[in-house]
Amino acid sequence: MDLNFTSDELNFREDVRSFLRANLPIDVSTKVLQGKRLGKDDFVLWQRILHAKGWGASSWPVAFGGTGWSAVKQHIFDEECADAGAPRQLAPSLKMVAPVIMAFGNPVQQRRFLPRIIDGSDWWCQGYSEPGSGSDLASLKTRAELVNGHDGDYYLVNGQKTWTTFAQHANWIFCLVRTSTEGRQQEGVSFLLIDMKTPGITVRPIIMMDSEHEINEVWFDDVRVPVDNLIGEENKGWTYAKFLLSHERTSIAGVGRSKRELKKLKEIAAAEAACGRRLIDDQRFRDRIALVELELMALEITSLRVLSSTGENNRAQGPEASILKIKGSEIQQMLTELQMQALGHYALPYLNEALEVGWKGDPMMPAYADHAAALASHYFNFRKTTIYGGSSEIQKNIISQVSLGL
């Protein structure tokens, strides 16, 4: 694998930088770079700006409205967006349900849903986990019963989903539901697309450790879902679910965002503290920064290899996606931990109001400690990265079984 960028790729990087300078709203990028709270409008606005440029879906093929970029160009785009402070694009919409609709949906579903994803009209959330069915996802109990109605056939859905990220903003949810209890658990699962405005759906907030409302419970009480919203075949949803999870785990790697946070860590460590010393001069701490940087470099190369292989062979990612998920989530946690340690006692207090734009901290704090106000929230939030999308333990089982045959 040639690790040097071509002249075309270097020119592309400059094009992306120029576009970001001209089009990324400064108030939005300031929120991202300062760790402030983002609202729904921030995400939607950025998606619409990208769509207007023709860059709304960097990983989609041209046939479905995507850019058709190579894996390297996708990587460059993600890296530059993260460095400039662009909001992350909505993974459940663009990188999870969309690939499933492209691969297993029928042409009518593709024409109906994909354009509204790419232009920001629809916001999707994921209905996978349930109370008691997280890591053991195949044990899910939300039922979908096929009903032959006089006005058309439909599924009647009853059950509960949990840990549903941004369900309070979403107008669609893709759900795994049980349509059969015969045979193995995996054989009775189907994949449904459900309009969140359908009567019988209730969204209840789950307030996290940092007092933020990011996740939810979603309840289904006799929710009618047209059979036209079934992806693929009934009882074959487990195949589609695994395909989706491989895309989710790859996107969790978050190389661009981690490179931005590594840069921030170095800036904090290089700043002169009140005692007149710099943390970067401490060899032990410098070694820890070097270690996480080496881990990140290895993750970046591995990610490029996986994405390139996927594109060349037109296949879903296998156990290599689990490798990216494990290392990506661990690196994200390491970076927040090191930032907390670098900021020392300034990082200890958690201030919910510090996530709002315009909040002013203690004027006596050193300049590099401005980041401290929001850091505790991010530290708490990143504790979950080794759990969602399949816990690290589950990923290690996948690697050992599929790759090593253990």
Positions marked active-site: 248
Angstrom distance (rounded) from CA 192 to CA 218: 15
- Copy the structure tokens of residue 143: 């039922």
Torsion region of 119: left, alpha or beta (phi above 0 gives left; psi -120 to 50 gives alpha):
alpha
Q: Which helix (DSSP H) or strand (DSSP E) does residue 187 occupy?
A: none
Please choose, from the candidates 73, 91, 381, the residue with its C-alpha nearest in 3D space to the C-alpha of residue 252. Answer: 91
Q: State the Cα–Cα distance between residues 201 and 226, nearest whole angstrom.
A: 15
Which residues make beta-bridge pairs with 185? none
User: Phi/psi zone of residue 18: left (φ > 0), alpha (ψ -120 to 50 degrees), beta?
Assistant: alpha
Report which residue type is found at 194: I
In contact, 309 and 323? CB cutoff 8 Å = no
- How far is the C-alpha of 223 from the C-alpha of 62, rounded, in Å? 35
Which tokens is 172 given? Answer: 């669609």
Distance, in Å, from the CA atom of 206 to the CA atom of 217, rounded to the nearest integer, reads 7
